[in-house]
Chain A
């Protein structure tokens, strides 16, 4: 097919004006109301206030001008392997969309569109949340031509047009294998470790407080006239040698706290039992399937090709008990919807079984092969400066509040700052092979993130002024569907040359693979 050009349908001007007018409809209505009912000195008489017709023109005219400009400037051109869209009068833009990247051609035709024989076309590549190109409106024949050209080289053009997506995804041969099953003991342990009871307790506390029942509880606990703050004050006074220590009430309060904490864990365990009852993770063909739940039975399917990142989390207690939890981040898949999700594949798993699970989710990743590299030797010196600085600010604030005695706080605070900085830096680590890259961090709570090279979208090095003074840089690996809060491959305190080499290496490996949604 030869390159040819397509313009918008002249009816675009009409539809565009209508669309812009709808945006202006609110202000226009407001103007109408104020100009007809405004009871002030400039109200109904209209002195110094333009009448409704003028308002309409002020609102409509720009939208007409914009619509005409858009209609005149828009050009759609078919090249052998890509779509070229030119638009804009003052700010001109030329967009090149390769056919191979186009995930979805959406066409909307409402009653008005049908009357003119036109369609509103959206082209999506699956990258962002917005359509990559919107053509409002094209003649119906142009849509057929676009479909023919865009999907010319495709094996399954029907699948992209939402023809039974469920059927298309079923592989011919299904091999089912169970990867994880949580028996009752593990379920309760999972609830104990997750400790989500606080949420429920918080809700209950709020409800009781609203109902006024808490006052009675407190007055029962502290005999009516002493509240918890009074207790704390008395304890502080006793520690400073200014009064007797209220031993009985202190024990009562501590006991209360202990009971409360145990209760929270128990609630969390019960909640995990209800939520994750009979958790099973199986692999069927190229899908992971998780089924769980006591009251509502949930079946979640995660196609492996949608997995972008795998994260292994370990709290302090997890490590004491030889457990970990594994989650994946998925993105894309459904043409154009760019769904971003964060899903558990293993709420709790024995640490020795993690490599097996990871190998199932990310074929080719052998965790045991990882050669973990530390960060720069001078990283501690930088980290400790920062945490001591924070400690000193806290000390200063405390000193301002309670006087010179506050300075005593600085000793444990600074000591703690040094310890945390030491441990933080010691537990930073990264590993990169030609197939995948991994980053781990955390002292008490540890996280470890794995990304396969074919999921890398971009690699960047960042150097802040402090980084540059120390000849260091940070390497970040960007993937689809990564959220800001999640643990991701973001390696700080690398020597400049190490960071540079790592970026070059990852980009080179990534360039040699192709990314498919």
Chain B
């Protein structure tokens, strides 16, 4: 299987940092409001809450730095005559196999952050239920476009 673009790791780290920053700021504000409002809250309770918050933020920040590389190592794709295979998942690992002739339509999309890193997302749609939408993020944008064209080009069109 082919790996994703290595820039995906850097991009996902930025996403993680933004997420952790937003969440920690929000929870800190909530905590400060609670501290200000609840006068009767004992000092030890305040300390415990604060330490819990700090621990959660530290773990979150650590995960945001570590997880993208893990995720990258466990993600891959392969396009051959039969169709597109997408492997995803670190703990719960899934390989989704979409036969070439079952692709209904495709999307290649690019968000602002993806654009900065030259990345794109390929989305393949089928008429299925669980896999009505199979997304493959973290490709180089030109690779995503090339994959889409390739997926279309070699379509076998014999009828049953």
Contacts and interface: CB of A to CB of B under 8 A. Distances in A.
Contacts of B104: 101, 125, 127, 132
Contacts of A331: 127
B95 A511 contact: no
A462 B93 contact: yes
Given A458-B102, A458-B134, A512-B156, A93 B92 contact: no
A462 B94 contact: yes
Interface in B68-96: 81-83, 85, 91-96
Nearest to A474: B94
A514 B157 contact: yes
Interface in B107-138: 107-112, 115, 125-132, 134
B60 interface: no
Contacts of A478: 126, 128-131
Contacts of B152: 82, 96, 98
* Interface size band for B: 35 or more
Nearest to A517: B127
Interface stretch (A194-202, A269-277, A502-510): A502-510
A457 B160 contact: no
Contacts of A160: none
Interface residues of A, number: 51
Contact of B93 (A88, A468, A483, A515): A468
A82 B130 CA distance: 26
Given A94-B107, A514-B158, A479 B129 contact: yes
A503 B104 CA distance: 20
Contacts of A88: 109
Nearest to B90: A465
Contact of B159 (A462, A480, A514): A514
Given A457-B126, A478-B129, A481-B129, A98 B97 contact: no
B9 interface: no
Contacts of B111: 90-92
Given A458-B98, A458-B128, A91 B160 contact: no
A418 interface: no
B101 interface: yes
A91 B112 contact: yes
A312 interface: no
B132 A93 contact: no
A454 B160 CA distance: 8
A82 to B, nearest CB: 7
Contact of B99 (A127, A128, A511): A511
Interface string A481-510: 111000000000000000010011011101
29 contacts: A93-B109, A93-B110, A94-B145, A96-B107, A101-B104, A101-B105, A127-B125, A457-B102, A457-B126, A458-B97, A460-B94, A460-B96, A460-B97, A461-B94, A463-B94, A464-B91, A465-B92, A478-B128, A500-B95, A504-B82, A507-B85, A507-B97, A510-B102, A511-B82, A511-B102, A511-B156, A513-B101, A514-B158, A514-B159
Closest 3 CB pairs of A and B: A457-B128, A511-B99, A458-B131
